[in-house]
Every structure is written in structure tokens, then in C-alpha cells.
Amino acid sequence: MTHTPLLLPDDEYNRALVAHVHPPDWVNPTPSGRYNVVVIGAGTAGLVTAVGAASLGAKVAIVERHLMGGDCLNFGCVPSKALLSSAKDAVAGGSIEFTDAMARMRRLRARIARHDAAARFRGLGIDVFLGQARFTGADTIDVDGQTLRFSRAVIATGARAAVPDIPGLSTAGYVTNETVFSLTQLPRRLLVLGGGPIGCELAQAFQRLGSQVTIIIRDTRLMPREDRDAAAIVQQSLRREGVTLAFGATISRVEQRPSGDRVIVAEVDGRMQEIAGDELLIATGRAPNVEGIDLAAAGVASTRSGVTVDDHLRTSNRRIFAAGDVCSPYKFTHAADAMARVVLQNALFLGRKRASALVIPWATFTSPEVAHVGISGADAAKRDDVVTLTQLFSDVDRAVLDGESEGFARVHVEATSGRILGATMVASHAGDMIGEIALAMTAGVKLPAIAGTIHPYPTRSEAWKKLGDQWNRRRLTPRVHRLFTTWLRWQR
């Protein structure tokens, strides 16, 4: 039986979590015959694949070496959003102690864990193996000395925090998203290395809970994958709340002083600086988990970016597919879910579903939130056939009434047809509202149809309707206006 992970702190909530997703008394089943599908990794992509295949009558096994539920449940979406909720309450005037916020997070995470429990998946007819999977051939996998034979396999081993190679970093010590949620004491000063979604979300949360946070980033702005003006609004919000931002930083080394301080020595704005903190959070991206499973034994190609797949998510071994963070540039839970569904169609039914056809939105859950789908503003600006329309929330009544008028909604539209190619929103609940545009893009619904759709008043989602109205007014050219005027005069 595999070693049971220990989550810190060792309290009732973490013990309840582990009891669901890696039970200490779990006994692996004895494999018999060939499986239709063996899934390696029980994060979102793996679990969706396993459940989908089993529901169709396939003989399925899933293997997890650590905690079922993967990064999302244990170290990502679930704990981070629970912490963000507590931090928001703190800003709203509540008296929130850090220890209470972390205990709440652990309690809610343990409650949600039952959805990803080993026993639940066994009850669905899936053989659940807890242990290290390793390919031993083109159609065989070893798990703790037992051989699993398969017709199809799916690699869904996810990704982990990417730690940069900085002199002194390992000696000084640091936390990542996989360990930061084990903290029980609030760092008085928190250094955050990286200005992407994870860094920005956690920086804002810790600042609101009482830390003095400094974000250190080598770029010249936060959130470089977002439109510059969208990222600037989040940047201004963080600064207003007291977060210190150090841009264009070239880090020479990290030191731990006798006082316990962790010190980043870096060149910022052309001069060397020492930036001290009590804790250092590394948030510099994700690295795929390809080690330890012996891909070469199965003839599966990989690179530093992860497992190599074609547009149908098939690897270089035609029996084996991959899904989720281990092979995708979109390292989101919902993207992993969508890719798993592509794999199900292609692996079990000889389908030709393409991953490139997926419309994948993403959101950063800062305050305000930034959500995006499709092409970016930079991409749109390079094209003569695209019209970009922007609606400020200062002209959306609900945003004004709520005192949250900062931000905007923006769409990029094919000039001749009104087909939506992309959108960005910066607003409270932007992550919820981007779904309307993602649906429109997936279903081929054009912007004029959104203009003709009744939206409740007063809501922020009226911003999409207002953009549709902008599009319709744009079509009212001077020539068309003259024709209408002539017609109306004739009607008098």
C-alpha cells in the first residue's frame, strides 16, 4: 500500500480531506483482464475521463500517487477562492483573523472533497489504485508491482509550481501554491515572486488579511497575458490597497538572514535593492508532471512543455492520449474538463474532435476580476478585418449603483459579419459574466443577436447588450441614415 500523505496542519479538517482523497486504509484492487481505459492522474482531467468512460460501460482504472482531486481541490481553485472570500469579508469591515480564515478554508475544502473521494469513484465501478504509475510497455502500466493492461490510456498527471533557478532560493526557503495553504500564522511581510493570476490573487488576499505584500516581477506590468489597460486596473487596485509593486526586477540571489528574514537581492529601476520579507511565495508559472511515469517505455514523446499531443490529444503512441495541464498551455480546471471530453470521444469512439476548436475562457479572481476569451486586444489590433468595441462600466447603471464603476467590457468582432472573435471584461463577477460570450462564440451567435436579447435591468451583464447596440449603431452609416430620413419624411 502506498504512503499516505500528511497535510499540515494535522487537524480534523485535513484528516477528513485525506480520508476522502487518499484513505490511509485503502487497499488497491486486483486487476483482471484488459481495461478499456487506464487513467494516470486523478485531477480534473483524469476524473472526468474516468467517470465518462465508466458511465458508457467501459472497464476503467484510475491511478493517483498523491491526492485525488488534484491541484484544483487540494492546492488551487478551492482553497484559493475560499481564502479570497474571507479576504473580501475583511475589506467589507469584518474582523477576520488569519487563523480563522485558514481554518474555514480547510473546513470547506474537506467538505467539497467528498465529490472526489476514492470510495465514490469505486462506487461508480472504477478500479481506483493509489500509488505510483509507471509505463512498462506500449499497453501496460505497473502500479506497486501490479500490472494493468489497457486498450487505451490517458495521461492526466497535471502540473506543479515551477520554481526558478535563483542562487540561494532553495536554502532560504519558500512556499508555493502547494504549501502556502498550510500556513497557520500570517506573515507580517510577504514577498510574492511573479505577477500572474496566482501571484495577484494571493497577494491581494494576504494584503487584505493583514500582511504587507510586495510583488516582484521581471516584466514591466502585472498579468502580461491580459490586455494592458485591463491589467492596469488591477494594478491600480492592488496599489490602492497597499501592495508594493517592483517591476523590471532582475534577481541576483535570495538570502536568509540570521534574523529569519528572507531577502531578495535584485536590480530594480536600474539600482540594486534588498527586499526583505518573512515569507516568500513563488508564483512563476507551472511545470508539467512527466517525471516518474517512464514515458519512454510506452513510446510517448514529451518536451519541457509537457506530453506532446496532436490536435486530437493523441500522443506518439496511438493507444495513449493526454489531457489537462500535462499537455495544455491552458492550465485551468475548466480547460482540463473540456479536454477530457475530447479524449473520451476520440479514444473510445474513433472520433475526430479537435482541441483547437474549444472556446476556452479564463479569469483572474482579483478585485476587480479580469476575464478573457478568444483573441486579445493585441491580436485584434493586428487585423484589418476586426472591429473592437468597448463599454465602460461607468455607463452601466448597476455598476454605478453598487459603487463598482471601474472597469469595462470589450468585444472583438469580425467587421463584415458581427461574429465575435474575443472579449475581455474587468469588473466584479467578470468570471461569471464571460460565459455569455463564450457560449455565443461556441454556438456561432453573433453580436447583433446579443443586442436583441433582453437582459435584466439593472445588471452588469447589460454591458454585453450595450456593446451589441454599439455594433448596430455603427452599421447606421451616413448613407443609410439619409435613406431612413427620406423614408420617414415620405411617411408623414
Nearest to 316 by CA among 307, 304, 303: 307
Distance CA 134, CA 303 (A): 18
Distance CA 366, CA 81 (A): 10
Preceding amide of 164 cis, omega within 30: no
Q: Name the CATH superfamily, with its identifier, for domain 12-161+287-357.
A: FAD/NAD(P)-binding domain (3.50.50.60)
Q: Where are the beta strands (DSSP E) in 47-164?
A: 60-64, 127-130, 133-137, 140-143, 146-155, 159-161
Residue 491 pLDDT? 72
Q: Do the domains at 12-161+287-357 and 169-284 have one common CATH topology?
A: yes
Residue 487 pLDDT? 61
Residue 6 pLDDT? 85
What is the CATH code of the structural domain delimited by 368-474? 3.30.390.30
492 residues of the chain, pLDDT tens digit each: 457 788 999 999 999 999 999 999 999 999 989 999 999 999 999 999 999 999 999 999 999 999 999 999 999 999 999 999 999 999 887 778 999 999 999 999 999 999 999 999 999 999 999 999 999 999 999 999 999 999 999 999 999 999 999 999 999 999 999 999 999 999 999 999 999 999 999 999 999 999 999 999 999 999 999 999 999 999 999 999 999 999 999 999 999 999 989 999 999 988 999 999 999 999 999 999 999 999 999 999 999 999 999 999 999 999 999 999 999 999 999 999 999 999 999 999 888 999 999 999 999 999 999 999 999 999 999 999 999 999 999 999 999 999 999 999 999 999 999 999 999 999 999 999 999 999 999 999 999 999 999 999 999 999 999 999 999 988 766 666 566 567 667 776
Residue 231 pLDDT? 97
What is the CATH code of the structural domain delimited by 169-284? 3.50.50.60
Question: Where are the domains positioned within the chain?
Answer: 12-161+287-357, 169-284, 368-474
Residue 94 pLDDT? 72
Nearest to 162 by CA among 73, 289, 276, 332: 289
CA 168 vs CA 192, 234, 252: distances in Å: 16, 31, 9
Nearest to 91 by CA among 241, 244, 245, 236: 241
Residue 400 pLDDT? 97
Nearest to 9 by CA among 106, 108, 86, 77: 106
Residue 316 pLDDT? 98
CA 163 vs CA 160, 174, 366, 490: distances in Å: 9, 10, 23, 73
Distance CA 52, CA 38 (A): 12
Nearest to 225 by CA among 424, 392, 421: 424
Q: What angle do CA 227, 229, 233 make, to 5 degrees?
A: 115
Distance CA 230, CA 35 (A): 48
pTM passes above 0.75: yes
